[in-house]
Amino acid sequence: MTAITTDLQAQKVAIEKFLETKALEGFPSNLYDAVHHIMTLDGKRLRPMMVLTCAGAYGIPEDKAMSAAISIEVFHNFTLVHDDIMDKAKIRRGKITVHEKYGIDKAIVTGDAMLPHSVDLLIHGNEEKAGTLLNCFNQMAKEVMEGQQYDMEFEDRKDVKVDEYLNMIKLKTSVLFGSACEIGAVLGGASEADRKNLYDFGLYSGLAFQIMDDYLDTFGDENFGKRIGGDILLNKKSFLLVSAMQNANAEQKVRIETLFNEKDEEKKIASFQALYREMDIPKIALDTMEEFHDKSVNAVKATSLTDDAKERIIQLGEVMLKRTK
**C-alpha to C-alpha distance for 234 and 96, rounded to whole angstroms:** 19
Side chain identity, residue 141? A
Whether the CB-CB separation of 38 and 165 falls below 8 Å is answered with: no
Among 20, 25, 105, 280, binds a copy of itself (CB under 8 A): 105
Whether the CB-CB separation of 243 and 162 falls below 8 Å is answered with: yes
Q: Which is nearer to a copy of itself, 127 or 308 (CB)?
A: 127
**C-alpha to C-alpha distance for 239 and 228, rounded to whole angstroms:** 15
Q: Which stretch binds a copy of itself (CB under 8 A): 43-51, 116-124, 213-221, 231-239?
A: 116-124
Name the phi and psi angles at 216, rounded to 5: -65, -25
Interactions with a copy of itself, residue window 8-67 (CB under 8 A): 26-31
**C-alpha to C-alpha distance for 252 and 106, rounded to whole angstroms:** 45
Residue 142 binding a copy of itself, by CB under 8 A? yes
Among 7, 62, 100, 112, binds a copy of itself (CB under 8 A): 112
φ/ψ bin of 120: left (φ > 0), alpha (ψ from -120 to 50), beta (otherwise): alpha
Residue 82 binding a copy of itself, by CB under 8 A? yes
Query: Furthest-apart CA pair in the chain: how many Å?
Result: 61
Q: Which is nearer to a copy of itself, 130 or 248 (CB)?
A: 130
Contact letters for a copy of itself, residues 186-225 (x by CB under 8 A): ----------------------------------------
Residue 23's alpha-carbon distances to 38, 81, 82, 120, in angstroms, are 13, 17, 20, 10
Q: What is the number of other CB atoms lying within 10 angstroms of the CB of residue 146?
A: 15
Q: Which is nearer to a copy of itself, 171 or 297 (CB)?
A: 171
Q: Which stretch binds a copy of itself (CB under 8 A): 13-21, 81-89, 208-216, 258-266?
A: 81-89
Among 14, 41, 109, 286, binds a copy of itself (CB under 8 A): 109
Half-sphere exposure of 321 (CA within 13 A, CB side): 21
Site size toward a copy of itself (CB under 8 A) is: 44
Half-sphere exposure of 66 (CA within 13 A, CB side): 17
Q: Which is nearer to a copy of itself, 171 or 240 (CB)?
A: 171
User: Which residues is 275 bridged to in the sheet?
Assistant: none
Give the shortest CB-197-to-a copy of itself separation in angstroms.
23
Contact letters for a copy of itself, residues 146-165 (x by CB under 8 A): x-xxx-xx------------
Residues that bind a copy of itself in the complex, under the rule CB under 8 A: 26-31, 79, 82, 85-86, 105-106, 108-113, 115-117, 119-120, 123, 127-128, 130-132, 134-135, 137-139, 141-143, 145-146, 148-150, 152-153
